Amino acid sequence: MGMNVGGGGGDDEVVSAINTTPLVDVMLVLLIIFLITIPVATHSVKVKLPVDANTPTQTRKGNIVLAVNSNGQVFWDTTPVANHTDLLNRLVEVAKQKPQPQIQIRGDQAAKYLAVGQVVATCQEAGIAHVDFITEQPHSN
């Protein structure tokens, strides 16, 4: 390693050495900034997420299919349900059966989430243990 003390030539000589001190200073500042901000960026609330087996549901004869059309109307199989109380009363009777039949909800793609959510809440209120959602497989092109 050599050091240029300056005693040799004139002032017009070209110095070909690169001064890396400003580069090292900038890199150290960036390293410190990243070390401080990474723990803040990766912090999140710890929750245990449900695991989905993604197995196809088979519609059996004893299963009950609840359909919600795009207008929010609820159907018990193919029969329209008059109101929340009617649906709740039917579901309470179903919940008493041993074993409970499986409830399958078919929601129209254009249905509002509120309508489908109310059906799920009514199932929970009635004491139904198992609720499935019926969907279609995506079309592969």
Yes or no: say if 67 and 111 are a contact pair by the CB < 8 Å rule. Answer: no
Cis omega (within 30 of 0) for bond into 99: yes
Structural domain includes residue 84: yes
| Average pLDDT score over residue span 52-64 | 68
- What's the confidence (pLDDT) of residue 85? 92
DSSP tag of 65: E
Q: Give residue 32's pLDDT.
A: 92
CB 81, CB 90: distance < 8 Å: yes
The pLDDT tens digits for 83-112 are 999 999 999 999 998 888 889 998 888 888
Q: Comparing C-alpha atoms, which of 134, 133, 121, 111 is closest to residue 88? A: 121
For residue 113, the enclosing domain spans: 64-133
The confidence score (pLDDT) of residue 92 equals 93
44 within some domain: no
**Does this model's pTM top 0.75?**
no
Count of structural domains, the chain: 1
Helix, strand, or coil (residue 44): coil
In a domain, 9, yes or no: no
CATH number at residue 81: 3.30.420.270
pLDDT tens digits for range 25-44:
999 999 998 888 877 666 66
Contact 106, 134 (CB under 8 A): yes
Encoded tokens for 59 = 């519609």
Rounded to 10 deg, the angle between the 113-126 and 84-95 helix axes is 40
Domain membership flag for residue 11? no
Residue 43 φ/ψ, nearest 5 degrees: -75, 130
